[in-house]
Amino acid sequence: MTDPVRDPVLAAIRRRRVTRAMTDEPVARADVETILEAARWAPTAGNRHLQRFVATTHPGTMRVVRMVSPGMIARPPAAIVICVDRELAAQYGFRPDVPGPWIDVGTATATILLAAQAVGLGAGPVSSFSRAAVAVALDLPDGWSPELIVGLGHPAPVQPAPMSAGRRVTWRDLTRWVPEG
C-alpha cells in the first residue's frame, strides 16, 4: 500500500478539511484562476464538460450570495458557483434525470477543494442556497442551473468544530468486498 505520508496526493487528500470560518482578507483573482484551471481537468461524463463555473471575488456580489445562502456559514470573500449547462446537456442527449451532469458537479467540487488547499486557501461546499436568487444575483445565462457553491477564503485562526458524524468512519465501514474476505 502507498504510504500517505510520503505520497503528496494522498497526504493532501487526508489533510483537506472544510474551512468553517474565514477572514475578510480578499482572495487574489490569480489564485481563483489557478483553481479554475485545475477544475477544468476534473473528469466529466462523456468528456462533455457540461459544468460551467461562475467565479467572483467582488465584495458586493459576495454579500448578496451570502444573503441567499443559509448554508454559507464561513462568510467567504470569494466563491465559485458550479453550474450545469442544461441546454447543452439536452443537445448532447442527456435526459434531465440522468445523473452524469450532477456527478460532474461532484468531480469538479472535489478538485476545487483540493486545488484551493494547494494554493493555501480554505474552501467549503455549500448546497443550501436559493437557486433562483443566485441565478438572478449572478445574471446566469439561460439554461445554466447553479448546483453547488464552493466558498473560498483565508482560514480564520480558530475554526469551529466540524459537524460530528459520531464515531470516525473508516474505509472498511464504507466498503464491501466481493467475494467476501
Ligand X SMILES: Cc1cc2nc3c(=O)[nH]c(=O)nc-3n(C[C@H](O)[C@H](O)[C@H](O)COP(=O)(O)O)c2cc1C
Kindly list the residues in this chain that would bind ligand X in the complex (CB under 6 A).
17-18, 71, 73, 124-128, 162-163
CB of 168 to ligand X, least distance (A): 10
CB of 106 to ligand X, least distance (A): 7
Closest CA to 112 of 8, 19, 1: 19
CB of 149 to ligand X, least distance (A): 8
CB of 11 to ligand X, least distance (A): 15
Instruction: Tell me if 148 sits within 8 A of 125, measured CB to CB.
Output: yes
Using DSSP, how many helices (H) and how many strands (E) does the chain show? 6, 4
Nearer to ligand X, 125 or 146 (CB): 125
Instruction: Tell me if 57 sits within 8 A of 26, measured CB to CB.
Output: yes
Cell numbers standing for residue 176: 464491501
Secondary structure of residue 115 in the 3-state scheme: helix
Q: Name the closest residue to ligand X (Cβ).
A: 71
Nearer to ligand X, 18 or 38 (CB): 18
Nearer to ligand X, 13 or 140 (CB): 13
Secondary structure of residue 117 in the 3-state scheme: helix
Q: How far apart are CA 142 and CA 87, in angstroms?
A: 8
Nearer to ligand X, 161 or 178 (CB): 161
Secondary structure of residue 22 in the 3-state scheme: strand
What is the distance of C-alpha 57 from the center of its chain? 16
Nearer to ligand X, 14 or 40 (CB): 14
Nearer to ligand X, 163 or 178 (CB): 163
CB of 71 to ligand X, least distance (A): 3
Q: How far apart are CA 27 and CA 120, in angstroms?
A: 11
CB of 128 to ligand X, least distance (A): 4
Give me the amino acid identity at 77. P
